[in-house]
């Protein structure tokens, strides 16, 4: 637990009168505010707030703690003014997380360029296809490809990535040609656990079509789907940054170019907009520029 952040959350909750109002003011989600309050009470060893559905009120311990927290935050601000980042120069260490495939394919090279540009910044990268708690894992920034961003998430859209239907030449030689999305039902479709699952969505001639698909292989990693489709195991939906280089080399064939598959958005997700470190702000801006230059479709 970041105790200073927890104290700020506590003070803001009292000043605003509710966790929801505090969350909005701090740029946090309500569950994160609730977690900080609970952890602060656990650390203090006393209940600080009486919570009801309509209002919050301070306990005796909370009244004492509120005064102390205000004093400590004022001291912290004084320290920040005396030793803060000079002239807005980024420095410090950032922890970021991303999906394994995105991290290996695009993000690693971008981060390498960033730390070369800003020698005072270090980066610890955690690649995982599982959802990671920013608070529990002390993550400064998560880069995710998704179309189902939660309403309580603090995020900034970096780019949009085209998704392409493709197959290996070997598969196409053994199976009927794909001339329309309705014909996908007779093909073995390689499924990504987090993209479409059993339904692939296309826009054909201005009409949105949701097409049921089945297959004998699924994975939670786009790189695994990529390897399976290269082996001729079936049809696959791949992000453009994986598909286009393979199409250029003739290892994969793009199918149904007249139909546009549902694209995926790339987001930078972080805990709060408040008092964002210069290094983190610069990194997000750098990634936004870098993704615009990437081959995403």
Q: How far apart, in whole angstroms, are the C-alpha atoms of residue 206 and residue 173?
A: 30
pLDDT value of residue 295: 87
pLDDT at 187 over 90: yes
Q: pTM of the predicted model, to two decimals? A: 0.69
Pair type for strands 92-98 and 253-254: unpaired
Percent of the chain with pLDDT over 70: 95
**Domains detected in the chain:** 3-83 (1.10.10.10), 86-159+265-293 (3.40.190.10), 163-262 (3.40.190.290)
Pair type for strands 207-212 and 155-161: unpaired
Q: How far apart, in whole angstroms, are the C-alpha atoms of residue 297 and residue 293?
A: 11
- pLDDT tens digits for 220-276? 888 999 999 999 999 999 999 999 999 999 999 999 999 999 999 999 999 877 778
pLDDT at 211 over 90: yes
Task: For 107-155, give the DSSP string.
Answer: IHHHHHHHHHH-TTEEEEEEE-SS---TTTTT-SEEEEEES---TT--E
Supply 150's token pair. Answer: 């939660």
Q: Binning pLDDT at 50, 70 and 90, where does residue 1 land?
A: low
Q: How far apart, in whole angstroms, are the C-alpha atoms of residue 80 and residue 72?
A: 12
- pLDDT tens digits for 136-163? 788 999 999 988 777 677 899 999 999 9
pLDDT value of residue 51: 79
**Mean pLDDT computed over 11-37:** 89
Q: Binning pLDDT at 50, 70 and 90, where does residue 80 land?
A: low
Please, what sign has the CA dihedral across residues 28, 145, 194, 103? Answer: negative
pLDDT value of residue 230: 97
**Mean pLDDT computed over 63-80:** 84
List, in sequence order, every beta strand (DSSP E) within the chain.
49-51, 56-58, 92-98, 121-127, 141-146, 155-161, 163-167, 189-192, 199-204, 207-212, 218-219, 235-239, 253-254, 259-261, 264-269
- pLDDT tens digits for 86-135? 556 788 899 999 999 999 999 999 999 999 999 999 999 999 887 777 87
Q: Which residues sit opposite 192 in a β-bridge?
A: 196, 219
pLDDT at 8 over 70: yes
Mean pLDDT rounded to a whole number for the chain: 89
For residue 38, CA distances in Å to 15, 26, 62, 230, 286 come to 17, 17, 13, 50, 35
Q: Binning pLDDT at 50, 70 and 90, where does residue 83 land?
A: low
DSSP summary character for residue 22: H
């Amino acid at each position: 637990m970041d105790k200073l952040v927890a104290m700020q959350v506590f003070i803001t909750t009292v000043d605003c009168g509710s966790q929801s109002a505090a969350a909005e003011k701090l740029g946090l989600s309500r569950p994160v505010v609730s977690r900080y309050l609970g952890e602060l009470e656990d650390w203090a060893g006393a209940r600080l707030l009486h919570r009801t559905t309509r209002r919050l009120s301070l306990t005796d311990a909370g009244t004492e703690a509120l005064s102390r927290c205000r004093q400590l935050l004022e001291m912290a601000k004084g320290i920040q003014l005396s030793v803060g980042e000079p002239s807005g120069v980024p420095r410090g260490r950032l922890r970021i997380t991303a999906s394994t495939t995105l991290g290996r394919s695009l993000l690693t090279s971008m981060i390498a360029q960033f730390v070369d540009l800003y020698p005072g910044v270090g980066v610890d990268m955690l690649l995982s296809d599982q959802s990671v708690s920013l608070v529990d894992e002390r993550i400064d920034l998560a880069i995710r490809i998704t179309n189902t961003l939660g309403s309580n998430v603090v995020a900034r859209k970096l780019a949009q990535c085209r998704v392409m239907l493709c197959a290996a030449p070997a598969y196409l030689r053994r199976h009927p040609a794909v001339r329309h999305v309705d014909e996908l039902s007779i093909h073995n479709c390689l499924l990504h656990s987090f993209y479409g699952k059993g339904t692939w969505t296309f826009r054909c001639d201005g009409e949105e079509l949701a097409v049921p698909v089945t297959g004998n292989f699924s994975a939670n990693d786009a790189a695994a789907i990529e390897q399976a489709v290269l082996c001729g195991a079936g049809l696959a939906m791949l992000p453009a940054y994986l598909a286009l280089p393979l199409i250029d080399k003739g290892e994969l064939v793009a199918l149904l170019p007249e139909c546009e598959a549902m694209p995926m958005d790339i987001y930078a997700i972080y805990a709060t907009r408040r008092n964002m470190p210069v290094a983190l702000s610069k990194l997000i801006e750098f990634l936004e520029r870098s993704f615009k230059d990437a081959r995403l479709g």
